[in-house]
């Protein structure tokens, strides 16, 4: 039997997502050709992704492309690609902080970074935005050890902790320059601490903020309202027409129920997240600390300390976040760090389905940066 050539691939769970990790050299250099191949590898477009690696949901239809860094400030470069499930689209318009947790271990496994002893730290440049991160994880005996007692909501069992720290980004924390904007008749806070995010009090949309994600997805009137808000907020945030993109994310805020700082419901962009993304949580955490923002009256913040617990539909995410004043007097992120886990599921060769000569090249959203 003959067919398309296989591609070296490692399937990993990173945080609360799952994705295919590739060395850049193992994929075509031309983005359009690469993306068409990734669609076939993931089994898209198909709601079930039955003929590929994807799991039929945006959280399991993700790709990490890793290479030696082009600059001295990082060890490796990480390009995140969101592969459409039932659409033939591949987007590089956002980062993914969940798959980011697996980049350091993957880089060590593939020999891009030498293990550093009991623990290894890998400096990562996120190609999508140019932002930097440092991931630290255990490497006893010079090998990645995924076992440990760290637990994160939304993932069964425990694993080794991967501590991911983000230095302040170069862009403004408040892309609109204001703590509060009125967008499509709704008060929101537009914040970007690694992920462009629009914070919306759930009660302003006549919701409790505690609804099940499936019920939120089934509400067509809500979907139309959120779409209107997202389009208008995208323009205000300098993102242009976001009709075909997955950013900005929208996060509904409600008072906490289980001792955390806030309860969240996040949309990516129309599917309701069953938890919350790492970078989305980083933006939420920073947004809660902004005086005059929509999150301040909703959140319950403890005095002293940087740690916040962000509640979501399947549990919580703990994040350390501090905000201060920048030279222009506007709020700016000082420190952001989160504990994640990651695990290699398989390492081998994936065989994509044959290319369909009648299908046009995959549209790539945003263009590689």
Both tokens of 341, joined, read 């886990």
Stretch 253-259: mean pLDDT: 96
CA 143/CA 152 separation, integer angstroms: 23
Domain match, 55 and 108 both: yes
- Non-local CB neighbours of 188 within 8 Å, separated by 6+ positions: 180, 181, 182, 198, 199, 200, 229, 233, 294
Is residue 167 domain-resident?
Answer: no
Domain match, 29 and 137 both: yes
- The domain tally of the chain equals 2
For residue 35, report the phi and psi dihedrals to the nearest 5 degrees: -70, -35
User: Which residue range forms the structural domain that includes residue 209?
Assistant: 181-340
- Non-local CB neighbours of 80 within 8 Å, separated by 6+ positions: 62, 63, 64, 65, 92, 94, 95, 96, 99, 100, 126, 127, 128
351-360 long-range contacts (CB < 8 A, ≥24 apart) are 351/3, 351/4, 351/6, 351/7, 352/4, 352/7, 352/37, 352/40, 352/41, 352/52, 353/4, 353/40, 353/43, 353/51, 353/52, 354/3, 354/4, 354/40, 355/4, 355/36, 355/40, 359/36, 359/88
The tens digit of pLDDT for each residue in 327-352 reads 888 899 988 999 899 999 999 999 99
Domain match, 328 and 359 both: no
3-class SS at 132?
strand
Domain match, 23 and 49 both: yes
- 277-315 in b/e form (b: 16+ CB < 10 A) is bbbbbbbbbbbbbbeebbbbebbeeeeeeeebbbbbbeb
Domain match, 194 and 151 both: no
Domain match, 346 and 334 both: no
The tens digit of pLDDT for each residue in 42-54 reads 999 999 999 999 9
Question: 319 and 281 in contact (C-beta within 8 Å)?
Answer: yes
Q: What percent of the chain has pLDDT over 90?
A: 80
Return the number of other C-beta atoms located less than 10 Å from residue 322's C-beta. 15
Domain match, 16 and 39 both: yes
- Non-local CB neighbours of 219 within 8 Å, separated by 6+ positions: none
Domain match, 152 and 223 both: no
- Residue closest to 287 by CA, chosen among 318, 331, 326: 331
The tens digit of pLDDT for each residue in 93-150 reads 889 999 999 999 999 999 999 998 899 999 999 999 898 999 999 999 999 999 999 9
The tens digit of pLDDT for each residue in 193-208 reads 989 999 999 999 999 9
Domain match, 336 and 223 both: yes
Q: Quick one: pLDDT at residue 367?
A: 43
The CATH number assigned to the domain holding 302 equals 3.10.310.10
Report DSSP state, residue 129.
Answer: T
Domain match, 123 and 242 both: no
């Amino acid at each position: 039997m003959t067919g398309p050539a296989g591609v070296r691939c490692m399937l990993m769970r990173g945080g609360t997502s799952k994705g295919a990790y590739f060395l850049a050299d193992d994929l075509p250099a031309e983005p359009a050709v690469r993306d068409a191949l990734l669609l076939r590898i993931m089994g898209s477009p198909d709601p079930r992704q039955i003929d590929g690696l994807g799991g039929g949901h945006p959280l399991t239809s993700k790709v990490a492309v890793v290479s030696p860094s082009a600059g001295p400030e990082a060890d490796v470069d990480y390009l995140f690609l969101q592969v459409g499930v039932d659409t033939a689209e591949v987007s590089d318009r956002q980062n993914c902080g969940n798959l980011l947790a697996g980049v350091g271990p993957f880089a060590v496994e593939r020999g891009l970074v030498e293990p550093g002893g009991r623990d290894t730290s890998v400096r990562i440049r996120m190609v999508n935005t140019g932002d930097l991160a440092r991931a630290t994880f255990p490497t006893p005996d010079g090998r990645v050890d995924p076992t440990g007692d760290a637990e994160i909501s939304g993932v069964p069992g425990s694993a080794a902790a991967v501590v991911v720290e983000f230095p302040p980004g170069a862009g403004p924390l408040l892309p609109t320059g204001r703590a509060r904007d009125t967008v499509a008749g709704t008060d929101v806070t537009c914040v970007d601490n690694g992920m462009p995010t629009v914070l919306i009090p759930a009660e302003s949309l006549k919701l409790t903020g505690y609804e099940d994600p499936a019920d939120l997805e089934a509400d067509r009137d809500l979907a139309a309202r959120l779409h209107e808000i997202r389009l208008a907020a995208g323009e205000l945030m300098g993102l242009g027409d976001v009709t075909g993109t997955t950013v900005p994310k929208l996060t509904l805020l409600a008072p906490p129920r289980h001792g955390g700082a806030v309860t969240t419901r996040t949309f990516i962009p129309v599917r309701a997240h069953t938890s919350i993304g790492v970078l989305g949580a980083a933006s939420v955490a920073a947004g809660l600390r902004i005086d005059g923002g929509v999150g301040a009256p909703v959140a319950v913040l403890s005095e002293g300390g940087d740690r916040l617990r962000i509640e979501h539909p399947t549990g919580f995410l703990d994040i350390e976040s501090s905000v201060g004043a920048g030279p222009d007097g506007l709020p700016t992120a000082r420190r952001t760090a989160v504990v994640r886990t990651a695990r290699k599921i398989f390492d081998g060769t994936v065989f994509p389905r044959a290319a369909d000569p009648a299908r046009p090249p995959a549209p790539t959203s945003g263009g590689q940066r």
